[in-house]
Amino acid sequence: MTRAGGSYGSPTHPHVRSRTMRKNRLRLAGVLAAVLVAVTGPAAQAHDKPPTLADLAERHGRYFGSATDNPELVDEPYKALLGSEFDQITPGNGMKWYATEPQQGVFDFTEGDEIVNLARANHQKVRGHTLVWHSQLPGWLTGREWTATELRAVLKKHIQTEVRHYRGKVFAWDVVNEAFNEDGTYRETIFYKTLGPGYIADALRWARQADPKVKLYLNDYNIEGIGPKSDAYHNLAKELKAQRVPLDGIGLQAHLALQYGYPTTLEDNLRRFAELGLDTALTEVDIRMILPATEEKLAQQAEWYADLTDACLAVRRCVGITVWDYTDKYSWIPAFFEGQGAALPWDEQLRPKPAYYAIREALR
Ligand code: G3I
């Protein structure tokens, strides 16, 4: 997962203005806190539970969520923060095809259900992830050839069984995940190769039949900025809308990396999807860096987290932000990118990092 470098911060760019405003807000917040302590004393302050990221996001009509995964749910301190700081959860793996239909026609929703039940207990909403993806498919599906007729039937059954199962329990589905290459051409997945590009419209229609209310999304990485890949989504979304195919939103994963530059066109990009009548969401945010994590890199990461929060808040139809798990303890990054990590707002000891405070500040 590599990304093209983005230009970052000419003095007149709105991005820079927003950072200056944030610094001013930070200064003001510091002064106000000092005044408050002087007036009320530190003891009075200790009783006021600070608002969570979810509380702060809610004031803007947005959610602030985290991904999680079943194996981590034995970690009680982890679970406590997951349950208190966020109002939205995405299962990192438990709703994927390999987990939910391990044998053809045999469905197993144990993992997804565990996360849905936990989320319900914590009054959190759940994003369904994901129905159609080229990765993490069961062996029975990838291990043989299919005719178009056969694969259409398999795909329809998978989508509709899973969507029906989670009807009323998830607010949105990543219906098709990662359908395009970096240059904006279709990814040659088993679905594309066997069914042609129409599999995307079919998947959306089948999902809509199974749940008339859930929000239906296409989701991908490296589409945060304007470029060939996000253009492909913009064009496809326009076509789908013209054909009255049910599509509600575009999920921008936002797996960013300090070494590749910040996507400075994020806000404009969110806006152009909104202009098509679509919601957007930042669905899998993390900002990795080449290790070791220095104070400087953590500060830059914090600024990027704040910047992407600002971008989402600036566009009414950007409905929320989800980090791809909240702590470096359970991040996917070190296993996939050698020598990289420290991508999340909490460190491996579940201590908040500068990024956490920067998000808070941006949400205020
Ligand atoms: O289930 C096996 C387990 O039986 C085995 O013992 C263990 C040993 O490695 O592996 C387990 O499978 C792992 C699986 O996660 C479940 O934990 C795979 O090795 C591992 O590759 C897989 O990684 C997931 C990855 O998707 C696969 O591409 C990550 O956890 C998950 O966070 C990540 O999520 C994706 C999104 O779905 C789509 N966007 C990109 C994002 C990051 O890759």
CA of 153 to the centre of ligand 1 (A): 27
Cβ within 8 Å of residue 193, ≥6 positions away: none
Average pLDDT value over all residues in the chain: 91
Helix %, strand %, coil % of the chain (to 5): 50, 20, 35
Does the pLDDT value for residue 32 go beyond 50?
no
Domains of the chain, with CATH numbers? Answer: 19-363 (3.20.20.80)
More confident residue, 17 or 314: 314
CA of 112 to the centre of ligand 1 (A): 15
Which residue out of 85, 101, 111, 284 is catalytically annotated? 284
pLDDT of residue 29: 43
Range 204-208 average pLDDT: 99
pLDDT digits 0-9 by tens, 152-192:
999 999 999 999 999 999 999 999 999 999 999 999 999 99
Cβ atoms of residues 150 and 112 within 8 Å: no
Cβ within 8 Å of residue 179, ≥6 positions away: 186, 187, 189, 192, 200, 218, 220
Our answer on whether the CB atom of 136 is closer than 6 Å to any ligand 1 atom is yes
Cβ atoms of residues 92 and 68 within 8 Å: yes
Pocket test for ligand 1, best of 93, 133, 187 (most atoms within 8 A of CB): 93
Confidence of residue 324 (pLDDT cuts 50, 70, 90): very high
């496809």: which residue's tokens? 236
Does the pLDDT value for residue 11 go beyond 50?
no
pLDDT of residue 42: 43
Cβ atoms of residues 116 and 126 within 8 Å: yes
Tell me which residue has its CA closest to atom 19 in ligand 1: 335
pLDDT of residue 34: 38
Range 28-54 average pLDDT: 55
Confidence of residue 49 (pLDDT cuts 50, 70, 90): confident
pLDDT of residue 22: 53
Which residue out of 178, 224, 267, 361 is catalytically annotated? 178
Does the pLDDT value for residue 20 go beyond 50?
no
More confident residue, 31 or 63: 63
pLDDT of residue 37: 38
Our answer on whether the CB atom of 1 is closer than 6 Å to any ligand 1 atom is no
Range 69-78 average pLDDT: 98
* Peptide bond connecting 292 to the previous residue in cis, omega within 30 degrees of 0: yes
Does the pLDDT value for residue 322 go beyond 60?
yes
CA of 92 to the centre of ligand 1 (A): 8
Our answer on whether the CB atom of 284 is closer than 6 Å to any ligand 1 atom is yes
Cα distance between residue 113 and residue 223, in whole Å? 30
Does the pLDDT value for residue 336 go beyond 90?
yes
Our answer on whether the CB atom of 135 is closer than 6 Å to any ligand 1 atom is yes
Tell me which residue has its CA closest to atom 14 in ligand 1: 93
